[in-house]
Chain A
Amino acid sequence: MLTSVASLENNVESNSMFEHLDTAIADVFENMMGMTCLPLEHQLQQEQGMTVAICFSGLFQGGCTLYLSQSAALATTEALLGESSPDPYDPMIDDAVGELCNMIVGRWKSRLGSTQAAAKLSVPVTSREHSSAHAKEWNDGLTRSYRFQDKTFSIFLVVSEA
């Protein structure tokens, strides 16, 4: 039976998912880039620019899609590498945002209970075309927006019990 998080009757579980996501994102930005990244109180329109998708399979299913603008993608790449990247189409940017999403999801997963953490993660798929394919496919889910420096990005997360 597939039950999306959004439709779970227990709101505590959804809140807990958000808290784990907030902490995971804060950890990734602080540890890897020395930056503070905080959740926004309101949800932003999904950013036009780049998307990264990672799917979960195993004891729970679903996925995570990261939406970020070119400038946010460039800023995270430069912060990760510690050097500037003058070319906005540098493939290292795709690589960096893929790793960013991978680390966020990996950290988030490790913060869940051991049963849920047993799910496997797919390789991140990065696209420079705005896509809400996963959102359409998975229907319900959680979307949360975040800010670091003067940049913002959004994350769509859906988890289903297998």
Chain B
Amino acid sequence: MRALIIDDSAVMRKVVERSLRQAGLELTEVLQASNGMEALDVLRGDQQVTTPLALILSDINMPVMDGLQFLEQRKLEDLAHGVPVVMITTEASEPLVMRAIAAGAKGYICKPFTTDQVKARVMPLIRSFVTA
């Protein structure tokens, strides 16, 4: 299983990857990006890969291009179609959550988080994506 983690903090990218593995995800490859712009480049370059991504996790507050702009641009370019995107962020105000969902996010995890919370949010999305 392949995943993309987007966060401007290298520490948080590592923490999120570790949580995914602890949650039981068998990750064969974890792609990383430090902002939305980099993530779009990763997705554009990933279109010919035989094993598609199964999950994208993204922070919201990032320099250059934030998580919401990333969602909107990804939708516009139809990149990683159908791949579930889960937002992981300290910003969890209702308007922000609604905007993220409207832009295509399938889930929301607030920092600080536990491995159980990651598992509960991510596993059902992956199951429905894999069986779709």
Q: Are A107 and B90 in contact (CB under 8 A)?
A: yes
> B interface, by DSSP: helix, strand, loop or mixed?
loop
Number of interface residues of B (CB under 8 A): 20
Tell whether A102 pairs with B113 under 8 Å between CB atoms, given A81-B15, A82-B18, A95-B10.
no
Chain A residue with Cβ nearest B94: A114
Q: Are B63 and A123 in contact (CB under 8 A)?
A: yes
CB distance from B10 to the nearest CB of A (A): 6
Interface flag for A43 (CB, 8 Å): no
Mask: chain B, 8-49; 1 = CB below 8 Å from A; 0 = not: 011110110010000000000000000000000000000000
Tell whether A96 pairs with B90 under 8 Å between CB atoms, given A31-B112, A32-B112, A106-B111.
no
Chain B residue with Cβ nearest A105: B90
Total A-B pairs, Cβ < 8 A: 58
> A interface, by DSSP: helix, strand, loop or mixed?
helix
Please give the residue numbers on chain A whose beta carbons come within 8 Å of chain B beta carbons, in ascending order.
27-28, 30-32, 77, 80-82, 92, 95-96, 98-99, 102-103, 105-107, 109-110, 114, 117-118, 121, 123
Please give the residue numbers on chain B whose beta carbons come within 8 Å of chain A beta carbons, in ascending order.
9-12, 14-15, 18, 61, 63, 89-94, 110-114
With A107-B112, A121-B61 already in contact, 11 other A-B pairs whose C-beta atoms are closer than 8 Å: A31-B112, A32-B15, A32-B111, A81-B14, A81-B18, A92-B11, A95-B10, A96-B11, A102-B90, A103-B90, A105-B90
